């Protein structure tokens, strides 16, 4: 599956799973129709991430779900992941592309038009844009107040590669992110912390498909 077909994207974080394993959360998300999973787990050592990655690779391959690894190109290669996702302080996109080759998926976190254009020029296949809304996740803590769907729209207008919104996204506020031009949304706690991760994934997908009504086009309605 190509990033252009992603709608729901799970970023793993065991500390938010209410005692459940990351593999269990991933399995439930897959059952709910998730399109991509990013192995993050930065609080664990490389060996633990590798072993978890092998387990996730097996289940995602069977389900036709893309698996990318946050930052660690070596783990991505070792588990035969579909690619990697890098941030502004990680290895450059161009380096990841050179090391992984033309067929790997390489994603990059951006929050400005300039970063987005540079990532595209360097060979990124998609962008993770955010934090869209306020968030307490360490992954996007540099934008706790959120850049808003308006910035997402600016970035989608500036690049030709797919944009995935991330940061504080729920089934209640995902619609405006899709309306801004994002092909999908990436979430951590919305699925990981949910009582029913499968149902949460399905609700998120449904929210992305539902049209968002602005005040202007609801005037005159009962």
Which residues are known binding-site members for Mg(2+)? Answer: 71, 90
Contact assessment for residue 183 and residue 6, using Cβ atoms and an 8 Å cutoff? yes
Q: Which of helix, strand or coil describes residue 67? A: strand
Nearest to 132 by CA among 65, 89, 79, 187: 187
Report the DSSP beta bridge partners of residue 85: 70, 107
Binding residues: 38-42, 70-71, 90, 109, 135-138, 168, 188-189
Which candidate in 7, 27, 40, 49 is catalytic? 40
Cα angle 29-168-192, degrees, rounded to a multiple of 5: 25
18: DSSP letter = T
- 66-70 vs 163-166, strand pairing mode: unpaired
Which candidate in 109, 111, 131, 205 is catalytic? 109
* 50 burial type by CB count under 10 A (0-12 exposed, 13-18 middle, 19+ buried): middle
* Residue length of the chain: 222
Active site residue 109: yes
Angle between helices 113-121 and 148-158 in degrees, nearest 10: 30
Active site residue 144: no
Question: Which residues participate in catalysis according to the annotation?
Answer: 40, 109, 138
């Amino acid at each position: 599956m190509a990033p252009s077909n992603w709608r729901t994207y799970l970023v793993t974080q065991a500390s938010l799973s209410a005692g459940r394993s990351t593999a269990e959360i991933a399995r439930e998300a897959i059952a709910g129709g998730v399109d991509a999973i990013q192995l993050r787990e930065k609080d664990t050592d490389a060996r633990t991430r590798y072993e978890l990655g092998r387990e996730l690779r097996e289940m995602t391959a069977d389900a036709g779900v893309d698996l990318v690894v946050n930052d660690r190109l070596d783990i991505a290669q070792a588990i035969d992941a579909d690619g990697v996702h890098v941030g502004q302080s990680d290895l450059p996109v161009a380096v990841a592309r050179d090391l992984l080759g033309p067929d790997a998926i390489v994603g990059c976190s951006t929050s400005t038009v300039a970063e987005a254009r540079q990532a595209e020029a360097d060979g990124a296949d998609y962008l993770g844009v955010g934090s869209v809304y306020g968030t307490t996740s360490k992954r996007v803590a540099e934008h706790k107040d959120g850049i808003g769907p308006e910035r997402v729209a600016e970035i989608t207008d500036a690049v030709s590669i797919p944009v995935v919104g991330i940061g504080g996204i729920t089934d209640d506020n995902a619609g405006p992110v899709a309306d801004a031009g994002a092909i999908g949304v990436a979430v951590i706690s919305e699925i990981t912390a949910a009582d029913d991760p499968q149902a949460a994934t399905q609700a998120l997908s449904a929210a992305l498909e539902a049209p968002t009504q602005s005040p202007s086009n609801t005037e005159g309605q009962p």
